Every structure is written in structure tokens, then in C-alpha cells.
Amino acid sequence: MNRLHPLGKLLVCVFYIVTVASFHKYALSQLILMAVYPVFGFIVGELSLKEGLYRMRLILPLVVFVGIFNPFLDRNVLQYSFGIPITGGMVSMVTLMLKGFYSVLAAYILIATTSIDEICYALRLIHVPRVMVIVIMLIYRYFGLMGNEANRIATAYKLRAPSQNGIHYKAWGTLVGQWLLRSIDRAEMVYESMLLRGFKGDYVIPRRKVKPVSMIYPIAWILIFIVIRSGLINIF
């Protein structure tokens, strides 16, 4: 999967998420069917489901907050299964959770099999402005560095203020401000180093060849999504 063209993978991912999000809140069985893509991606791409689930933690609070009240608010019984009333709210809560779950997994499949540079290349192909793409690449490149710096600052601070839980308000300005100024100085050096290697405000990205399989892959998946969405195979 890593060798497929990044644009194809990006398209599949976006189309998948759009399809999932477009399902009606009661369309539970069709949504379950949509699991075919994450299942394929995780098994064939040999990804860790644990890692995928762990990524849920950031969006979970808002999704849960939004969905958790549905069973209380929408109490209309859709049907009885084994004598238990199934209400619209119960179903819509489950579909909401599934949607959240699927979209996070789909994005994970994309990022785990495609590097940021490749995604940036795909973005260039769909005419996202150059400035934007360069900025994204730079953010990605320097995020790790800055993260380490943040850790060092936090550690240095903690070692001298062992009883505090975070950074005291008196140190907010100087601590982060110093770091900010250093970052801007670094940005200037980065700029100089780019300039000295012929940078003229434009980043040249080499073209990639498109193999047939890279064409078939997105087309096949998008067809499958359309079929599931249209309810054509909802024969049950």
C-alpha cells in the first residue's frame, strides 16, 4: 500500500469519510458494511489497531458529549428486538460513534501508509497553493524539533520547581517569549540556508509516475462506497 500513488490514497480517504458522514443517523447496517475499508486497510497495511484506537482520544470528548444524550432525547421506538424496544436515539448514538471511529481509522490508514511529503505532493496536484504546501512541510519538519525543545524547557523548569504542577503564571511570558524569539531567529537561519541554495519563493517537487494499479485502487474503492451508500446491496 505504501507504493500506491498518494493522490489515489488521499482521494479514497476523503471519499470514504464523506460517504460515512453522509449516512442517515438510523442507517446502522449500511454503516457497519462500511467497515470493509478500514478492515482492508488495517490488515493489508499491517497497521496496529491499538494505535488507531488510541488516536480516538482527542475527538472522543466532543463526540460523546454530542451523542450521549440522543437515547434520552429521541425515545421513539423504531422496532422491538427480542422484546426490547430499540429507540431512534440508541441507534443514532451508535451510528455517531461509528462515524467517529471510521473517520479516525481512515485518516490513520492514510497517514500510516503515506508520508507527509507524499501528501503534500498530492495536495500540489490538486492545486493547493505552493505557499500552503511549503508551510505544511516546514511545520511538519520543525514540529518535532520544537516538541523536543518544549520538553527540555518543561524539564528544566520542573527540576527547579519540583512542587509545581505546571508553569507558574509569573514565568509564562519570559519562558515562552524567550523560546519564541529563539524560534524566530531559527526561522531566519532556515530562510538564509534556503536562500543560499537557490530558493526563490518556490519549491520544486519532482513528478511521480502513475502506475495502473494506482488508478484502479481509488476507482474500485469509490465504486464500492457508492454501491454501499446507494443501498444497492442492502438486500437483507
Partner 1 sequence: MHTGIHGELLKIEHLSFSYEKGQQVLNDVNFMAHDKESIGIIGANGIGKSTLMKLLVGLYLNYDGVLEVAGHQVNKKNLNHIREHIGYVFQDSEAQLFLSTIEDDVAFGPRNYGLSEEEVEKRVTEALEKVHILELRKKQTYKLSGGEKKLAAIATILAMEPDIIIMDEPSIALDPRNRKNLITILNEISSLKLITSHDLDFIMDTCERTVLLDEGRIIADGATKEILSDRELLEGHGLELPLRLQ
Partner 2 sequence: MHMADALVAPAVAGTMYVLSASAAGVSVNQVKKEDDPKKIPVMGVMGAFVFATQMLNFTIPGTGSSGHLCGGMMLSAVLGPFAGFLTMIGVLLVQCLLFADGGLLALGCNIWNMAFYGCFVGALLIWKPIMKKGATKAKIALASILGCVLTLQLGAFSVTIETLLSGVTELPFSVFLASMQPIHLAIGFVEGLITTAVLIFVYEARPELLWGIGGTNEGRVTDKEGKLSLKNTVIAIAVAAAICGGIVSLFASAFPDGLEWSMEQVAGTTELEAEGGAYDAAAGIQETTSLLPDYAFKNSESAAGTSFSGIVGSLVVVGVMVGASYAFKFFKKKDGSASAA
Binders of partner 2 in range 137-156 (CB under 8 A) = 137-143, 145-147, 149-151, 153-154
Report helix, strand or coil for 46.
coil
Other CB atoms within 10 A of residue 74 CB: 17
- With CB under 8 A as the contact rule, which of the stretches 77-85, 153-161, 185-193, 217-225 interacts with partner 1? 185-193
Q: Select 29 or 148, whichever has its Cβ closest to partner 1.
A: 148
Going by C-alpha positions, the residue among 102, 94, 16 that lies closest to residue 52 is: 102
C-alpha cell at 137: 512541510
Which residues from 158-197 bind partner 2, rule CB under 8 A? 164-169, 172-174, 176-181, 183-184, 186-188, 190-191, 194-195
Phi, psi of 78 (to 5 degrees): -85, -40
Q: Report d(CA 187, CA 127) in Å as an integer.
A: 26
CA distances from 162 to 17, 154, 156, 157, 184 (A): 45, 11, 10, 8, 30
Neighbours of 228 (CB within 10 A): 22
Binders of partner 1 among residues 116 to 135 (CB under 8 A) are 116-117
Binding string, 98-117, against partner 1, x = CB under 8 A?
-----------------xxx
User: Within 1-60, which residues bind partner 2 (CB under 8 A)?
Assistant: 13-14, 17-18, 20-22, 24-30, 32-33, 35-36, 39-40, 43-44, 46, 55-56, 58-59
Q: Which does 196 bind (CB under 5 to 8 A by kind): partner 2, partner 1, none?
A: partner 1
**Residues 141-170 vs partner 1: string with x where CB under 8 A?**
xx-xx-------------------------
Q: Are the beta carbons of 133 and 62 closer than 8 angstroms? A: no
Number of residues located near partner 1, criterion CB under 8 A? 26
181 or 226: whose CB is closer to partner 2? 181
How does DSSP classify residue 78? E
**Region label for 201, one of left (φ > 0), alpha (ψ between -120 and 50) or beta (otherwise):** left
Residues in touch with partner 1 (CB under 8 A): 115-117, 137-138, 140-142, 144-145, 186, 189-190, 192-200, 203-204, 206-207
